[in-house]
Amino acid sequence: MVRIRMQRFGRRHRPFYRINAIDQRTRRNGRVLENLGHYNPMDPDESKQIVLKEEKIKAWLDKGAQPSDTIRDMLGKADLLGPKMKAEWEADRAINMNRGKCKGAIKRIEAAIASLEKLEDDADVTSFVNTAKKSLTLAKSTLSPAKSADAEKAAGEAEAALAGAQKAAAADKPAEEPADAEAE
């Protein structure tokens, strides 16, 4: 099968990529079937960073060439993909966006757990910590299927547990302070 993928050139910390049609079994810098453009991420002018030979790319795609994931993103943004491949690209992009939201929710839950563990030293908030850890487990299970709504719900539960623990810790502190004042 023919792949449309990038071939790296340039020196260290100054990459330059050629976009080529290459046999799938060929190594990255192996024999090229046809040059289809280039990508220079170091060019300060964003309009000159990606140069694509649109007619040649469309011809290779019509012949059945499969773009790599990075090239598929470039071609999708340049509107060079066929309707079926574009629908797949948009679906994959939506899934990746949802996974990003799930990862953000997981970070929020981990931050809530860290705050709860700090509170745990001062007050008895074990039940709140357990609730937050269950929410973390639930959020991690939503990462693979990219269910961002469930992850956000779990993050909300963890943040509610943190708020409840903070209220409980605040309620315990004023009761202790007058007792200390009476002892003096």
Q: Is residue 74 part of a domain?
A: no
pLDDT at res. 177: 53
Q: Is residue 26 part of a domain?
A: yes
Is there a single domain that holds both residue 54 and residue 130?
Answer: no
CATH code of 64's domain: 3.30.1320.10
Q: What is the dihedral of CA 149, 152, 154, 159, to 10 degrees?
A: -160
In three-state secondary structure terms, 45 is: coil
Domain finish residue from 68, 88, 118: 68
pLDDT at res. 8: 92
Q: Is residue 86 part of a domain?
A: no
Residues in the chain, pLDDT under 50: 179
Domain finish residue from 68, 89, 106: 68
Each residue's pLDDT tens digit, 32-86? 999 999 999 999 999 899 999 999 999 999 999 999 999 999 999 999 999 999 9
The pair of structure tokens assigned to 158 is: 């963890």
Dist CA 127 CA 12 (whole Å): 53
Is there a single domain that holds both residue 56 and residue 111?
Answer: no
Domains contained in the chain, number: 2
Tell me the residue range of the domain where 58 lies: 2-68
Domain finish residue from 68, 86, 108: 68
pTM metric for this prediction = 0.69
Dist CA 184 CA 95 (whole Å): 63
The DSSP letter of residue 33 is S
Is there a single domain that holds both residue 105 and residue 167?
Answer: yes
Q: Is residue 92 part of a domain?
A: no
Q: Are strands 50-52 and 34-39 parallel, antiparallel or unpaired?
A: antiparallel
Q: Is residue 81 part of a domain?
A: no
Specify whether the CB–CB gap between 58 and 80 falls below 8 A.
yes
Q: Is residue 116 part of a domain?
A: yes
pLDDT at res. 174: 60
pLDDT at res. 178: 53
Q: Is residue 138 part of a domain?
A: yes
